[in-house]
Amino acid sequence: MSRLETTLCGIRLQNPVLAASGTYGYGIEFAGLVDLNALGGIVVKGLSREPIAGNPAPRLWETEAGMMNSVGLQNVGVRAFVKEKLPKLRRYRTAVFANVFGYAAEDYAEVIRILNDAEGLAAYELNVSCPNTRQGGIYFSSDPVCLAELIRMVRPITRRPIIVKLSPNVDRIEPLARAAEDAGADAISLVNTFISLAVDARTRRPRLGAGYGGLSGPAIKPIALRLVHQAAQSVRIPVIGLGGIRSGLDAAEFLIAGASAVEIGTLNFADPAAPLRVARELDRFLRDEGIPSVTGIVGTLQLHPAPTAAQEEKKL
């Protein structure tokens, strides 16, 4: 057994480094560039009941320390994925996770029903950063009651583990993490992108065609680490961490903060082989630290207790 081998929701992973949804297409597009068999896992781009064309261009904007995107969840639709993409992915031993989204709980349920009958998937990742059009546009990701109702609807019909991908655009992450666990989620992943805006001062217009976009990359890493730690402290189910990971050391930090696995996102746009490099660097870190298994560092963060008011007063 290698240092990196682990399990997630009962799924065996040869390493805990996955390619994040929305950054690796449907996986098969990268087969000529990367050894897909060496990846810890692939989370395919979000799948909906019907095809979606996505937002107007431009859809990407490089920031000083990351990237903004407003792709608009463009995808071929779940039926085309099952018919055209998934059969090609079955040739590889890497775990494949299907990212699922919708604008009503029934949308999620229908996508999962279609995927249930398909071979070659390990689990589902629910992207809940969408407005619930049946409840006046309340975002599934921002309301614990709305989130729990969604999970309770899809839990009885799914034949595979459910991972719930949480948004950072909330006041507190703990109530949402607990709501997901209590409703039956097998794991949670976080964070999704931060709502953001880039402006062209000369044209007085947004840099992205849809206006607002989602910020990802190194700029969000410290906030993502904090949210992963807070979520991991509040639930017993596994946590998958993502947000600005560029190296094996970054990955180790997320695991130490409480994540059981990590996902690489923005970095894939610059280097599709980045998940493999991050996994190798993580393995070297474990070797150099004398740690026989990656599970040995999960949740080992030791926070210093916050100083009391009396202690602060003594410093003055």
Q: How far apart are CA 150 and CA 154, in angstroms?
A: 7
Q: What is the DSSP string of 214-278?
A: EEESGGGHHHHHHHHHHHHHH-SS-EEE-SS--SHHHHHHHHHHT-SEEEE-THHHH-TTHHHHH
Catalytic residue set: 130
Quote helix, strand, coil % in the chain, to nearest 5: 35, 20, 40
Sign of CA dihedral 8, 13, 19, 22: negative
Contact criterion met (CB below 8 Å) for 163 and 192: no
Q: How many CB atoms lie within 10 A of CB 305?
A: 6
